[in-house]
A and B are shown apart, each in its own frame.
Chain A
């Protein structure tokens, strides 16, 4: 393992100190908690938004804390959901009395820990609502299984629900808009190389020099298929088609996100983006806005994901609204 770290068991604490040092005027750490919050939280007369999960997905989720997006992010150990007491600390720190909305990615651990925190908060009289994001089309969706994973599409949920909350929307209205985004967003990823969790010290899986894995999760969970590496155009086409098969985007307008998983050069992300745009154009799908870069990573994994969000006028307006989050400025 070759990493720029001090102690594998202190990476989250060390990162939090570094983030607060980088954005002292907009971020603060909630005392004794692995929680980063807006400096001005709790914000009066606004429902507070909280997301979070395991660390290792930077800039998710703390990079999306800021006016117009999240009020706080809860940071778990690397790839491990934060505990209910940590989420509860975040809820208490940002609630202005108007309630708290949780944005959870669909992983068994995340859902349970956030739900327990919500129960603790409700017992204290704080109103809590939540959305569970499940945008990954690589995983079979069934009510009998854990269901689809939450990946990069979660960032669009942060952005749009964040903008709506800034307008003064109620918890009920936020839940409605969150569900709307979740039902219109789809993603899929692929990887060229694995990543190493600092405390584990060895790679989470192996890929041969000439191999790639299609449909991989952001913790290296297995995808759809492991096969010989293909060109950027072929990769973009396979991923995009899988997304387009899942919901009908024809004659619609979309936002596109081409997301790097940690160690993919921007050059390669733009090459993928060129093909995604071409494919969408051929199918008569209009691109309203494009985001290329690192939004939801998997430590130093090489690879990318593509996300498409179907837009209407309401979603367009909220996507265009101002955001001061360090990793998503609009």
Chain B
């Protein structure tokens, strides 16, 4: 894989479309086990991201990721803003001055995952977006070749798997056992992120 500057911008545009299309759905998922603002906050944040990207000239993927990070941190709020913001900031640092091939990208998403874990003081198995990011990182590190469909499958299976987990972090943790059987909204929005990436890679392939 090779993620070009244009690919990185397309990625964010597709992601924004998915978030806007599923804003109500994300909010509904969050009302069930959280505080019901995930859809509203993510839609506000990614709308700002595409506005910012559309009026700025970029020289590198790293610069795009940096602006995505700063915009999400400044516009989303709640827990998602710092987590997604940290993820993109780490990806920006890891891809600085580099061509974003599979190896660089694998390092970038791994750094992002470590950043999310550190910021959220969380780990695998706590019903958070970590449960989607961790298998996806593994995918980029282990696969010989990045096949878009395989990436979608990997993320999709991770989301389904997270349904069975009892929440111990985030606001869903107050529900304890009652959180089992529900989808974690942050895992679902992370799925959209990797599904968007797969669609960009498919087009470029």
Residues on A lying within 8 angstroms of B by beta carbon are 76-77, 79-85, 107-109, 112-113, 115-116, 139-140, 144-146, 149, 197, 199-200, 204, 217, 219-222
Contact = CB atoms under 8 A, between A and B. Distances in A.
Contacts of A108: 79, 120, 169-171
A112 B76 CA distance: 13
A113 B77 contact: yes
A144 B35 CA distance: 21
Contacts of A116: 73, 82, 85-86, 119
Contact of A197 (B36, B73, B178): B36
Given A112-B83, A116-B73, A204-B31, A80 B37 contact: yes
State the main secondary structure of chain B at its contact with A: helix
State the main secondary structure of chain A at its contact with B: loop
Interface in B31-77: 31, 35-37, 40-41, 73-77
Contacts of B173: 145-146
A139 B81 contact: no
Of the candidates A76, A80, A222, the one having the most CB atoms from chain B within 10 angstroms of its own CB is A80
Contacts of A85: 73-74
Nearest to A108: B79
B27 interface: yes
Interface string B152-183: 00000000000000001111011110100000
A153 B44 CA distance: 32
A76 B82 CA distance: 14
B81 A83 contact: yes
A204 B80 CA distance: 20
B97 interface: no
A221 B171 CA distance: 8
Contact of B82 (A107, A113, A197, A222): A113
Given A108-B79, A108-B120, A112-B83, A84 B171 contact: no
